[in-house]
Amino acid sequence: MEENDLPRALSLQGASNVRDLGGWPTQTGGRVRFGMVFRAASLSSLTDEDIVALTEIGVRTVADLRGELEQQQAPSRMSGVTTHALSIEPSLGASVREVAARPGATSDDVMVLLRRAYTAYALDWSHCYRRLFDLLLQDDAPPLLFHCTAGKDRTGFGAALVLTALGVDADVVLEDYLATNRLWRVDPDIAATMPALAAEVLFRAHPELIGVAFDAVRAEFGSLDAYFEQRLALGPERRARLQKRLVE
């Protein structure tokens, strides 16, 4: 498979932005294994056929990064799996609407909120991503899918962490992140409630945001490696185990 065929996406009726993290090259000459780690948007509208398709590719563990209210209001339809709630509470909705309603507000004002959100993912919600890595490192861990609502921000940062930990180059990590812009179908109910100014910014993945999060990490910890070890419990030994499991 050529890199321009990546990421390998699943075409489902009731969920979008569903894809395998496999296939991306690593700095050591390997590739991330297919069929081990998947990312997605919400699973609350899966059809019966979608559930069969996800079951057939081996998904047995789901990590739900949505906040508690999001999970209650739109419960996952995925069956036959073990689901772990790694709740990262959404921080954008009300703030974005408030900013967008201000006279003279611009898209840059909304981007400020997104930058704050990504910094918070890295620094305030790192315990949730640590649990994600714990799940990936469990003995005989089955294939895992992690998701939030859009599969864009909380999930996008999580995927960037996983791929970086596996030794994938930063430009390739960014390529996976930006694939959301062609794979995510915006929920029309969400779109109907969002001011146009905010939608223009919120409904896209922006390349600078992964950099914002990683810059915040470097500012506080000195390096990504130190962050992995101190916040995500991914020291050299556990990181080597992760790579052995997920890289071929």
Provide CB contacts within 8 A for 37, sequence distance 6+: 20, 21, 22, 136, 143, 144, 145, 146, 162, 246
Domain range holding 200?
Answer: 3-246
Work out the average pLDDT over 190-217: 89
pLDDT of residue 190: 76
- Rounded mean pLDDT of the chain? 92
pLDDT at 84 over 90: yes
Which of the two residues, 136 and 95, has the higher pLDDT score? 136
Query: Quick one: pLDDT band at residue 97, thresholds 50, 70, 90?
Result: low
Provide CB contacts within 8 A for 144, sequence distance 6+: 36, 37, 38, 59, 60, 61, 62, 63, 135, 136
| pTM over 0.75, yes/no | yes
What is the number of structural domains in the chain? 1
pLDDT in tens, 140-151: 877 999 999 999
pLDDT of residue 1: 47
Domain harbouring 58, CATH code: 3.90.190.10
Work out the average pLDDT over 55-70: 95
